């Protein structure tokens, strides 16, 4: 009986790690380090690389602001998707090499690449929002800056 209980707990434990995380985006995909070369490094088109942190998806109560930047980008993506390929990497306990290569210290961080060369890097600021003076949240400002740059690409 003990053996059956141990086997059942091992089986259920390994199944928990096999569950795929469902990111709240549909127009771009999250990649692993093994996909980097084909999807980003060897790409001849513009590539917008989004570095996110999925720790909010593992909370018991998910904050509504979780992946807010990514959701907004996903919503806007169809309007510029023919110009730029958008991919993302989760930096929460995975993709260490890529995050280290790009010196990712904050999320979301966005990097625009062409022929594997960094054209522009976008990072959130730490300044607090000030609606009375027209200052939005740092993620909103990041979103506006990314969109402005992407729309300038011919």
In a domain, 119, yes or no: yes
The whole-angstrom separation of Cα 144 and Cα 64 is: 20
Quote the number of domains for the chain: 1
- Read off the pLDDT of residues 57-107 as tens digits, 9 standing for 90 and up: 665 555 566 778 888 888 888 877 678 999 999 888 788 889 999 999 888
Amino acid 16: pLDDT: 44
Domain boundaries, position 109: 22-151
In a domain, 11, yes or no: no
What is the rounded average pLDDT for all residues in the chain?
79
- Read off the pLDDT of residues 1-47 as tens digits, 9 standing for 90 and up: 655 555 555 555 544 444 556 677 888 888 999 999 899 999 989 99
Three-state SS across the chain? CHHHHHHHHHHHHHHHHHCCCCCCCCCCEEECHHHHHHHHHCCCCEEEEEEECHHHHHCCCCCCCCCHHHHHHHHHHHHCCCCEEEEEEECCCCCHHHHHHCCCCCCCEEEEEECCEEEEEECCCCCCCEHHHCECCHHHHHHHHHHHHHHCCC
- Read off the pLDDT of residues 112-123 as tens digits, 9 standing for 90 and up: 999 999 999 999
In a domain, 106, yes or no: yes
CATH of the domain at 114: 3.40.30.10
């Amino acid at each position: 009986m003990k053996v059956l209980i141990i086997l059942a707990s091992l089986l259920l434990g390994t199944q928990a790690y096999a569950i795929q995380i469902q990111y709240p985006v549909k127009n771009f995909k999250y990649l692993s380090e093994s996909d980097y070369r084909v999807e980003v490094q060897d790409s001849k088109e513009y590539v917008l690389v989004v570095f996110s942190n999925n720790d909010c998806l593992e909370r018991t109560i998910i904050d509504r602001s979780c992946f807010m930047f990514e959701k907004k980008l996903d919503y806007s993506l169809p309007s510029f998707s023919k110009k730029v390929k958008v991919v993302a990497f989760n930096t929460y306990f995975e993709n260490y090499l890529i995050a280290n290569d790009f010196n990712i210290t904050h999320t979301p961080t966005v990097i625009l690449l062409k022929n594997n060369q960094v054209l522009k890097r976008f990072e959130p600021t730490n300044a607090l929002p000030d609606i009375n003076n027209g200052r939005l949240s740092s993620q909103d400002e990041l979103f506006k800056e990314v969109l402005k740059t992407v729309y300038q690409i011919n």
